[in-house]
Amino acid sequence: MPDNVAPETMRAWVLGGPDEISLREVPVPRPGRAEVLVRVDAAAICATDLEVLSYGRPAMIEGALPFHKGHIPGHEYMGTIVGLGPDVDEYAVGERITVEIHAGCGRCRRCREGMYTSCLNYGFASKGHRANGFTTPGGFAEYAVNNINTLVRIPAAMSDAEATLAVTAGTSMYGLDELGGLIAGQSLVVIGPGPIGLLGVAVGKALGADPVILLGTRESRLALGRKLGADHVVNVRAGDPVAAVQRLTGGGADLVLECSGGDEIIDQAGRMLLRGGKLCLAAFPHAPVTVDVGHWVRNNIYVYGIRGEGKSAVRRAVALMAQHRFDATLIHTHSFPLADLPEALRYARERIEDAIKVVVTMR
Ligand SMILES: [Zn+2]
Ligand SMILES: [Zn+2]
């Protein structure tokens, strides 16, 4: 089979029931209007993939989508364009790209404002909305169809594995965007050294935040945070994290990016801020949390929630990666072939050998 020619069928991991996934031979999808066919070269596993496996497609709109048998998960993938939909001239066959998750419908109020990750038609494929690996087929397969708006070109020197990390870096970037984007010279606290937190440190440092402080519980992750640009790390088990941040910043931080989804830490995050500071919540706690809202009000604390990787943040994160402003591959810990996806998922779920980003490769 020469490159750039798609066969009729492909191997894809397909959801059966909860936590039931099997490798099947399925038809290769065909690109429609404003779409391309991507030959997937690599796909990273995200914690959200594990939720999709167990609970089906996410309930990001009112009322959960029904558990979707036949769904192909995987949303952090990259590959090579091998086919173009009608009249697509923005990209060419043979280009290497990485992908964003969301293509908004383009017709709702939020899409028209550029907030396509907050599309009001989330899940309505017939209205043009796509969320790769969530509401539409994803990248744990040899081929995937993508809207051209979700494509980001990558430089030849960027490895396949590094390119799969673009969505993660883009999510961190979007969080920092929502904090106002004026990062240079401001103190930034990142809470939670998971993939988004670690790359939040890296992106914040690349954008000039000073100092960058990473909070977490695992020393190995904090050490990695230092390699990615943290000026200071704080183990929250070692003492009062609020006092530690106040000491390191001389009174309080300008910005906090919360990536842990912890309970108590969200109230503490508000207290780490200097009066008038900004808090971005990038992780979702699984239960309601208790915070002293009065403290936020009295101190003019700005609070933002972010959804995904909006406002072309992935494209801008890729620019930083292409300029070698940080080494995202430090969080890539394991690789498996596509056929071993269940083992790759086990490594990700159980954090075997301190797995952070596990990548499956197609060839
Ligand atoms: Zn993800
Ligand atoms: Zn929309």
Q: How far is the CA of 249 from the centre of ligand 1 (A)?
A: 31
CATH match for 9-153+327-361 among 3.90.180.10, 3.40.718.10, 3.30.720.110, 1.10.3720.10? 3.90.180.10
CA distance 307 to 298: 27
Q: How far is the CA of 48 from the centre of ligand 1 (A)?
A: 6
How far, in Å, CA of 8 to CA of 25, rounded? 10
Average pLDDT, integer, range 274-294: 94
Among 22-26, 68-72, 80-84, 270-274, where is mean pLDDT lowest? Answer: 68-72
Query: Residue 354's pLDDT is what?
Result: 94
What number of other Cβ atoms are within 10 A of residue 33's Cβ? 11
Query: 58: pLDDT confidence band, cut at 50, 70 and 90?
Result: low
Would you say residue 1 has pLDDT above 50? Answer: no
Write the CA distances from 85 to 49, 90, 130, integer angstroms.
Answer: 28, 11, 16
Give the phi and the psi of residue 43 in degrees, each rounded to 5: -145, 135
Range with lowest mean pLDDT among 92-96, 256-260, 285-289, 343-347: 285-289
Q: Are 253 and 274 contacting, i.e. CB atoms less than 8 angstroms apart?
A: yes
Q: How confident is the model at residue 163 (pLDDT cuts 50, 70, 90)?
A: very high
**CA 117 – ligand 2 centroid, Å:** 8
The pLDDT, as a whole number, for residue 62 is 44
What's the distance, CA 326 to chain centroid? 17
pLDDT of residue 61: 45
Closest ligand to Cα 171: 1
For residue 41, give both structure tokens: 């070269």
The neighbourhood of ligand 1, an ion, using CB within 5 A, equals 46, 48
The Cα-based distances of 157 to 7, 161, 162, 322 in angstroms read 28, 12, 10, 8
Mean model confidence pLDDT for the chain: 94
Q: Is 93 in a helix, a strand, or coil?
A: coil
- Reference 200, options 210, 188, 211; nearest CA is 188
> What is the 114 CA–ligand 1 centroid distance (Å)?
20
Neighbours of 267 (CB within 10 A): 17
Average pLDDT over every residue of 185-214 = 97
Least Cα distance to 12 among 334, 338, 345, 343 occurs for 338
Q: Rounded to whole angstroms, how far apart are CA atoms 140 and 16?
A: 14
| Residue partners of 93: CB distance under 8 A and separation at least 6 | 4, 81, 82, 83, 84
**Which structure tokens are listed for 313?**
């943040």
CA of 46 from ligand 1 middle (Å) equals: 4
User: Ligand 1 centroid vs 162 CA: distance in angstroms?
Assistant: 14
Between the CA of 66 and the centroid of ligand 2 the distance, in Å, is 21
Across the strands, what pairs with 213? 189, 232
pLDDT given at position 55: 81
Overall average pLDDT of the 106-119 stretch:
95
Question: From the CA of 77, which ligand is nearest?
Answer: 1
Question: Counting ligands in written order, which one lies closest to the CA of residue 282?
Answer: 1
Tokens at residue 306, please? Answer: 């972010």
Residue 191, token pair as written in the block: 């809470």
- What average pLDDT score do residues 131-137 get? 93
Which helix H or strand E contains 143, and what residues bound it?
strand 143-147
> Where along the chain do its domains lie?
9-153+327-361, 169-305
Domain 169-305, second-level architecture: 3-Layer(aba) Sandwich (3.40)
CB 351, CB 220: distance < 8 Å: no
Q: Which one of the ligands is nearest to 102 CA?
A: 2
- Whether 60 has a pLDDT exceeding 60, the answer reads no
